[in-house]
Chains A and B, each alone.
Chain A
Amino acid sequence: MSEIPISWFLTLSAVLFALGVAGFLFRRNIVTVFMSIELMLNAVNLSFITFAYYFKRVDGQLFAFFVMVVAAAEAAVGLAIILTVFKNRATLNIDEVDSMKN
C-alpha cells in the first residue's frame, strides 16, 4: 500500500485545528494565543491543499496562498498591537488586559 487515503490528511487538519483552538482558549500569554491562531490557519491551509489535490484544480492552492499572505499581514499588525499593549500595561497576560470588560 503506497497510497495515502485522503481522509488522513483531512483528519490531520482537524487535529491541528482542534489543538489550535485548545491553545487559543487555555493559554494566558498573548503571544502564545497569537501562535495558536497561526496554527489554526496552517490547519485550514492543509485542508485547502488536500481539496486542491482531490479536485485536481489549482484554485485551492491559491486560497492557501492568500491565507498565507493575509496571515503575514495579520502577524505584523498583531505583533505591533502586542508591543503597544506591553508598552502601556507592562504585562502579556490576557487576564489583565480587560479594560473593555467593565
Chain B
Amino acid sequence: MDVILFLIFAIIAVVCAINVVVQSHPISSAISLVGVMGSLAILYLLLGAEFIAAAQVIVYAGAVMVLFVFVIMLLNAGAEVRKGRSLVVQLLGVPLLIAFLALVAYFVQRLFPSSVTVRFGGFTGGTAQAIGRALFTTYLLPFEITSILILIAIVGAIVLARKEMD
C-alpha cells in the first residue's frame, strides 16, 4: 500500500517537474510546479511530517505559487522564444543528465541498502506540538531571526515594487 502510494505520487512529481522544465509558457510551468508541491506534500505525510505537509500546501502551493501566477498575469508573460542551442547541448544534455542520475541512484543505493525502509506511521514526531516545542526551545534564535528576515523581505519588496514618487 505504502509502496503504491509512493510510486503514484513520485511519478506525478517527476512528470510535473519535467513539465516545468519543458513547457514554453510560464503559466503551464507554474501549474506543473503546483502539482510537484502537492505530491511532495503527500510524500511528507508518508514520512510522518504532518505539520510540514500542511505548511507545504499552505505556504508553497498556496502563497508562493499564487504570487508567481499573479506576477505572470501582471507582466502578461508570453511563450518563450526558442533559440537554436548548440549541437553538443542538444545531443549530450539529456543522456548526460540520465547518466548522472543513474550514478547518484547507484551510490544512494549503496549507502542506504534496501533494508532501511520507510513505513507509514514509523515516525510520529512531526506533529505540530513537537515542531512547536522544538521551535520555541532549541531553535528559538533562528526562529526570531527568520521573523526579522521576513520583515526585511516585506519592506524590500514594497520598496522595489512601488511607484516612484517625488
A79-B2 in contact (CB<8A): no
Chain B interface extent, by class: 35 or more
10 A-B pairs whose Cβ atoms sit less than 8 Å apart in the complex: A6-B118, A12-B10, A16-B36, A27-B80, A59-B138, A64-B52, A76-B67, A77-B160, A83-B71, A83-B75
Q: Please determine whether A71 and B64 come into contact, CB atoms closer than 8 angstroms.
A: yes
Considering only CB atoms, which chain B residue lies closest to A11 in the complex?
B105
| CB of B101 to closest CB in A, whole Å | 6
Q: Are A11 and B21 also in contact (CB < 8 A) when A5-B117, A53-B48, A69-B150 are? A: no
The answer to whether B97 and A22 have CB atoms under 8 Å apart is: yes
Interface of chain B, main secondary structure: helix
Given contacts A10-B112, A23-B20, contact A52 B123 (CB under 8 A): yes
Contact A4 B6 (CB under 8 A): yes
Name A42-58 residues within 8 Å CB distance of B.
42, 45-46, 49-50, 52-54, 56-58
Would A84 and B97 count as touching, CB distance under 8 A? no
A9 CA to B7 CA, complexed, in Å: 10
Q: Identify A53's interface contact among B105, B123, B139, CB under 8 A.
A: B123
Q: Digit string of B140-163 for contact with A (CB within 8 Å is 1, else 0)?
A: 001000100110111011101100
For chain A, give the interface size range.
35 or more
Q: Is the CB of A83 within 8 A of B21?
A: no
| Interface assignment of A97: CB less than 8 Å from any CB of chain B | no
